[in-house]
Amino acid sequence: MSTTAPPSTGTSVELEIGGMTCASCAMRIEKKLNKLDGVAATVNYATEKAKVTVPEGYDPAQLIAEVEKTGYTAALPAPKKPDTGAGVASGEGSAEDRELTSLRHRLVGAVTLSVPVIAMAMIPALQFTYWQWASLALAAPVIVWAAWPFHKAAWTNLKHGTATMDTLISLGTGAAFLWSLYALFLGTAGTPGMRHPFEFTLAPSDGASNIYLEVAAGVTMFILAGRYFEKRSKRQAGAALRALLELGAKEVSVLRGGIETKIPIEDLAPGDEFVVRPGQKIATDGVVVSGTSAVDASMLTGESVPVEVAEGDTVTGATVNAGGRLVVRATRVGSDTQLAQMAKLVEDAQTGKAEVQRLADRISGVFVPIVIAISVVALGAWLGAGFPVTAAFTAAVAVLVIACPCALGLATPTALLVGTGRGAQMGILIKGPEVLESTRKVDTIVLDKTGTVTTGKMTLVDVVVEPGTDRGELLRLAGALEDASEHPIAQAIAKGATQEIGALPTLEDFANVEGMGVQGIVDGHAVLVGRTSLLAEWSQYLSDDLAQAKTRAEHQGKTVVAVGWDGRARGLLMVADTVRATSAEAIAQLKELGLTPVLLTGDNEAVARQIAAEVGIEQVIAEVLPQGKVDVVTRLQSQGKVVAMVGDGVNDAPALAQADLGLAMGTGTDVAIEASDITLVRGDLRSAPDAIRLSRSTLGTIKTNLFWAFAYNVAAIPVAALGMLNPMLAGAAMAFSSVFVVGNSLRLRGFRSTAN
C-alpha cells in the first residue's frame, strides 16, 4: 500500500517509471510523490509503474518533475496506436526489448571475460607466470563497462543523498577492483610467479599480496545474470495481461448503406452494424441483428464450449465466430467494452500491494543504509580484533554484495502479475491484492439462488396432459401461440416445444389477454394458453387430476400454464428456473475448501429446500426481500463468521459490498460487478471455488517469496560478516535469490481450473 491513504476524490494518473533497479528505488519515489499536497501514490517495482491519485486539474508534469528530482525517469503512457488495436503501445514493448538487449550484451561480455578470471583464481594449476596481469586485462572491461549501469545509478543516488542496491554493488565491486590495483602496483601481488589458492571462506594473509579481481568480475557477472533472467521472467509474468490486451480485433467490416466497408476498430461507433464471418473475431460488444452461429469465448472467459447465439442475443468483443455469418449492432466500444474493463481490472490489481507487502516495503526503504553500516562495523570489528586488512576487507565486501532488497521488492508484485494474469485467462478478475487476504479468512459463502445456483432463465420442465390428449399435439398448438408473445414464460414454452417437436405451425389469429394469457387460432383450433381463470371464462375447467398436478407443481415453485382448445382444458405446462448443471459440483468444491455454503433466496421455504437438497446445501435462508439480503450478511458477520457472497443482480449489489468477499457472476448486472471484489466472467458457479483457490495460491506464493527473501538476508548477512563466505559466491547467492522469487511466482502459470 502507499504510505498515504488515497484521497476520496480526485483524478487517477499512471506514470511509467524508468531507472528503478530494486524495491528501495520504488519506495524512494513513492515517498517523494506522497509528500506533495493532495497526492497519493503507489509505485510498483515489478510493473515499473506508478499509480497516482491527484486533485482535479493537477498538472502531471509536476509529478514527472518530482520523480526526476530523485534521479529516475517518468512519463505518461504513450497513446495507443491504431495498428495495435486493443493492445499496448508499441513503444513500451520496444523499450523493454532495448533494455533486455542491452542487458544481454553486457551479460555475454561479462561471462566471456569473467569465466577465465574466475577459473585462474580458483584453480592454482592454471596460474601461469603473469596470470594476475592477464586477469586484470580481462576483468577491467567487466568492472568498468559491464557494471557501468550499477556505477551510473550509484553516482546518481549519491548526488541525491540516497543509496540503493546499485550502491552496494558498485561499492563492493569497486572496492575489490581498487584493492586489486593497489596490491598489483604497490604491493607484492604483481610479482612474477605469484600464486594464491581459492578460499570459500576467509584466510588470514598479507593483504598486499591478495587480488580480488575474480570477486569484482564474478559479482558483476552473477548480478547481471540475475537481472537479465529477472527481467525476462517479469515479462513472462505480465504475458497474460498483454495477451488479454491484444485479443481485440484490429479491423471491422461495417455496413454503410448496405455495403460492407473495412475501417479501423477505433472508428467504430455505438449503433454501427458490422459483419462477422466464420472464424473472425467479433469486433466489439453488441447485439446480433441477423444470423445464427456458435461463439467461442474460450480466450476471454476460459469457457471451452461454444455458445449458440441468434437474433437478439448479446455478444462480446474479442470472442470468435465459430459458425455462420452474423450481423451485429455495436453497443459498447473502446474503453467501455467488456475486454477493456477486464484489462483495466487486471492492471489495477497488478499495480496494488497486498497487506503482507507493507513490512517488506518498510524494510526495503531503510535496508541499504543498514547494510552499509553493517559492512563498516564488520570492517572495524575485524581490524579491532587484530586480523589482517585483507580479512577485514573481504568480510566487508561480502556483506555489501550478498545483501538483496530486490527479492523483498519482487516477492509480492511478481506473484500478483502471474496470479491475476492467470485468473484473467480463466475468466476470473481479481480487483486488488487486498482481496487475496479475504479469501484466506472466509469460512461462510452465501449464494443467491436465482442466476447463481440456478440459470436465472425460465425453462419448460414438465408437461401434463389429459387422458386422450397427445403430448406432441399440446406442445404444437401451445408452442405456436406462445411463440407470438414476447413474455419470458411464453418464450420458454415456445423454445421447449421447438426443441421437442421441431417447427411450429403458423398462427391464423392471435390476441393477448393482458394479465391472463393468450388466445388464437392454430390449425383450425381455438386455442387458449394462460391462467386457469382465462380458460374458466370460456367454461374450460381443469379436471381433478390436472388440478392436483397444478397444486403439486406450485408447491415446488414452478409456474403452471394451462392449455385448452375446442371447449376443453387439455393439459398443463410447467415452467421453472432450473439449477445450473455444474452447481452441485461447485458446492462440493466449496466445501472441500472449508467453506460453509448458505442458500439465500426470496422464494418460499419449500422451493428453496428442494433446490438446496439438489445441490448439496444444508443451510437455507428463504423468503428474504431484496433489501433484506444485506441484513442476512450483517447477521452472519455479527455471529463471528467471515462471509463471502456470490450474486448477479442489482439487488445483490449492497450485499456483495457488505460481505467480506464479494463475487459477482459475469452474467449479471454491471452494478453487481462494480460492487464485487472478484468477477466471474463465465456463467459457471465452479468459477467461485477456482477464484478462491487461485487467490489462496497467489497469497501462499507471496508469503513463500517473502519468507525466503527475509530468511536469505537474515542468514546471509551475518555469515558474510563473520568471514564465512567468499564475496564472489555471495554475489552469486544474491542474484539467485531474486531469480528464485520470480521463478517461484511463475509456477502460478500452471494453475488449472476444475471447470473444464
Catalytic residue numbers?
448
d(CA 547, CA 319): 48
Residues 6 or more apart from 665 whose CB is under 8 A from it?
A: 451, 452, 646, 647, 648, 672, 680, 683, 685
d(CA 483, CA 479): 6
Strand 568-579: give its sheet, edge to edge: 454-465, 568-579, 559-565, 525-530, 517-522, 507-513
Is the backbone of residue 466 left (phi > 0), alpha (psi -120 to 50) or beta?
Answer: beta
Q: Nearest Cα to 447, choosing from 598, 586, 590, 667?
A: 598
d(CA 42, CA 22): 15
Q: Cell 577492483 maps to which residue?
A: 177
3-state secondary structure of 491: helix
**DSSP code per residue over 203-227:** ----GGG---HHHHHHHHHHHHHHH
How many other C-beta atoms can be found within 10 angstroms of the C-beta atom of residue 195? Answer: 11
DSSP at 7? P
The three grid cell numbers given for residue 415, joined into one nine-digit string: 506473484
What is the amino acid identity at position 670?
A: D
Q: Cell 551479460 maps to which residue?
A: 107
Are 428 and 573 in contact by the 8 Å Cβ rule? The answer is no
Q: Nearest Cα to 697, choosing from 593, 547, 624?
A: 593
Instruction: Report the alpha-carbon angle 186-213-160, nearest 5.
Output: 95
d(CA 493, CA 480): 9
d(CA 147, CA 335): 43
Q: Cell 441483428 maps to which residue?
A: 289
Q: Which helix (H) or strand (E) holds 669?
A: none
**CA 635 to centroid of chain Cα atoms:** 31
Partner residues linked to 511 by β-bridges = 519
Residues 6 or more apart from 52 whose CB is under 8 A from it?
A: 12, 13, 14, 15, 33, 39, 40, 41, 42, 63
* Cα torsion 387, 392, 395, 398: sign: negative
Instruction: Report the alpha-carbon angle 568-511-578, nearest 5.
Output: 75
How many other C-beta atoms can be found within 10 angstroms of the C-beta atom of residue 609? Answer: 15
